[in-house]
Structure 1
Amino acid sequence: MLALKPPSISFDKVLPCKKTHHRSPTPLLRSRRTAVAAAASGGGAATVAVVDSPTRVEILSEALPYIQQFRGKTIVVKYGGAAMKSLELQDSVVKDLVLLSCVGLRLVVIHGGGPEINSWLTRLNIQPQFLNGLRVTDAATMEIVEMVLVGKVNKSLVSLINRAGGTAVGLSGKDGRLLAPRPAPNSAGLGFVADVARVDPTILLPILSSGHIPVIASVAADEAGQGYNINADTVAGEIAAAVGAEKLILLTDVPGILEDRNDVASLVKEIDIKGVRKMVEMGKVAGGMIPKVTCCVRSLAQGVRTASIIDGRKPHSLLLELLTGDGAGTMITG
């Protein structure tokens, strides 16, 4: 469960940037990084002296082109993985969301909660089961999924954002018929697991126009009221398309798309749909990355401008992706 620990705001990890999406750090940043690293090894007091107020102001001012680029635009963020489990990374994500909202970005957050669901199932002596990467969801499991995603994780995340100075509104795919589910192709083996048949963003639009942050649990119900569990990546991609998002961001437990899955240094920083499909055909994108890449490609095909798979284990990864030239993972373009 998300901890209700109020985050402390710090801007010293926001990197300077230019208008290109990926680039090497500026000389200012290189010298500052070197000085801070040296100070950290020899004493903490020197670190404060290096990152003085003029330096902080200059770093923040260099984010201006990115703020101007994304101000008033809708950014859909899928939040899960390591960034959800670690208290420090929770604080980082919440700070990023609040800061981005304050400078005018329209944010939609879709969250998962797999580890918490597994924990509750284990407490109830129910063995978690998966088929092709999707959770097998019988009636008892569906009850736990809804309790955790809607009753616990969603409320906790909303509380964290509000306590940090943002204004979040908790929702699920059931609210306002936001999501219409379609049983998964192999539903006989998966149980109450669905794809997204349709998105009705009516309930989201006034929330976004008011500057609030909708936080959405990835469950839905059919016309008879039966609940369904839907993959959060899939939900994020379909909602991004439905609201005409400028960008879709998936926070993950991996650096992004790797040219060599065993070599972190082979990170592909930018790639188009054609390139992604080629990597899938060659087997360079496999396993759990395939559904993430698929939802990114589907969202781009439906009008989302860019989609990024970023490393949620990095503190302030959202700011790195949106307000710097380095990014924090792989950006996919149409």
Structure 2
Amino acid sequence: MKQPELKASVVSDLVLLSCVGLRPVLVHGGGPEINHWLKLLNIEPLFHEGLRVTDAKTMEIVSMVLVGKVNKDLVSLINKAGATAVGLSGMDGRLIMAKPTPNSAQLGFVGEVARVDPTILQPLVNNGHIPVIASVAADELGQSYNINADTVAGEVAAALGAEKLILLTDVAGILENKDDPGSLLKEIDIKGVKKLIDEKKVAGGYDTQSELLRGIT
């Protein structure tokens, strides 16, 4: 959501869902905004297998940008549109407990979701508030981790028993041929995804095949 008009449109739809009785929870990342601030500080963004390489300095910037800026900007837009939003990160109320990825030697402080405790979310959604969750969390020792927002959204949805998971992205969807926009798969099941993995047509964005499968179940 790089354009203000697009942000306003998405927020308007979100508020409409809330007004008609649905109880949305918004989970967000903020890759472009993070890249912008890294470049302002003369730090080159690095990626490994679709995930951001996050050293200690980058982790500090990720937390500041996602929790302190992107999250509060979204909360402000939702409130302005007539709903009541509450900004959170995975650290608040022990909402998300993180753990390092198996290949942390390459990725640094990139984490996975160890568990989700939705206790803090229940009274918010029950009272008609819209939780806005930044995909940053900490482990048992308080170390902060940057977690893929799609993964966080799926885990939070599962913990809440959500009826639907909606992913907003800047790509058309799953393409059978990444170079052919006309090869968009409008519907796919687990068997189809496994076939794409076996044929090496799936790459980037997810660190493991199991996360991809879990993300679309």
TM-score, structure 2 as length reference: 0.93
The answer to whether the Cα contact below 8 Å between 1:241 and 1:299 also exists between their aligned partners in 2 is no
Alpha-carbon separation, structure 2, partners of 1:197 and 1:186: 15
Q: Aligned-pair distance for 1:244?
A: 0.6
Alpha-carbon separation, structure 2, partners of 1:149 and 1:283: 32
Gap change, CA 1:130 and 1:261, over 3 Å in 2: closer
The answer to whether the Cα contact below 8 Å between 2:49 and 2:203 also exists between their aligned partners in 1 is no
Q: Aligned-pair distance for 1:299?
A: 4.8
Out of 68, 74, 79, the position equivalent to 1:151 is: 68
> Between Structure 1 and Structure 2, whose CA radius of gyration is higher?
1
Alpha-carbon separation, structure 2, partners of 1:265 and 1:125: 38
Q: Aligned-pair distance for 1:292?
A: 10
Matched residue, 1:100: 17
Matched residue, 1:126: 43
- RMSD in angstroms over aligned alpha carbons? 1.8
Give yes or no for the alignment of 1:91 onto 2:8: yes
Give yes or no for the alignment of 1:208 onto 2:115: no
Matched residue, 1:231: 148
Gap change, CA 1:97 and 1:165, over 3 Å in 2: same
Alpha-carbon separation, structure 1, partners of 2:215 and 2:163: 10
Matched residue, 1:272: 189
Alpha-carbon separation, structure 2, partners of 1:199 and 1:180: 6
Q: Aligned-pair distance for 1:280?
A: 2.2
Match of 1:107, SS? Answer: coil
Cα distance per residue 1:128-161 (max 9 Å; x no partner): 2222221111111111011000000000000001
The answer to whether the Cα contact below 8 Å between 1:237 and 1:296 also exists between their aligned partners in 2 is no
Out of 196, 214, 217, the position equivalent to 1:298 is: 214
The answer to whether the Cα contact below 8 Å between 2:97 and 2:115 also exists between their aligned partners in 1 is yes
Match of 1:270, SS? Answer: coil
Q: Aligned partner of 1:263: which letter?
A: D
Matched residue, 2:103: 186
Structure 1: gaps (5+ residues): 1-83, 302-334
Alpha-carbon separation, structure 1, partners of 2:177 and 2:109: 36
Match of 1:196, SS? Answer: strand
Out of 161, 166, 182, the position equivalent to 1:244 is: 161
Q: Aligned-pair distance for 1:176?
A: 0.5
Q: Aligned-pair distance for 1:291?
A: 5.7
TM-score, structure 1 as length reference: 0.62
Match of 2:168, SS? Answer: strand
Gap change, CA 1:193 and 1:133, over 3 Å in 2: same
Cα distance per residue 1:243-292 (max 9 Å; x no partner): 1111111111111112332222222211211112212222333333x569
Which stretches of structure 1, 4 residues or more, deviate above 4 A after TM superposition? 290-296
Cα distance per residue 1:15-74 (max 9 Å; x no partner): xxxxxxxxxxxxxxxxxxxxxxxxxxxxxxxxxxxxxxxxxxxxxxxxxxxxxxxxxxxx
Match of 1:250, SS? Answer: coil
Structure 2: gaps (5+ residues): none
The answer to whether the Cα contact below 8 Å between 2:27 and 2:135 also exists between their aligned partners in 1 is yes
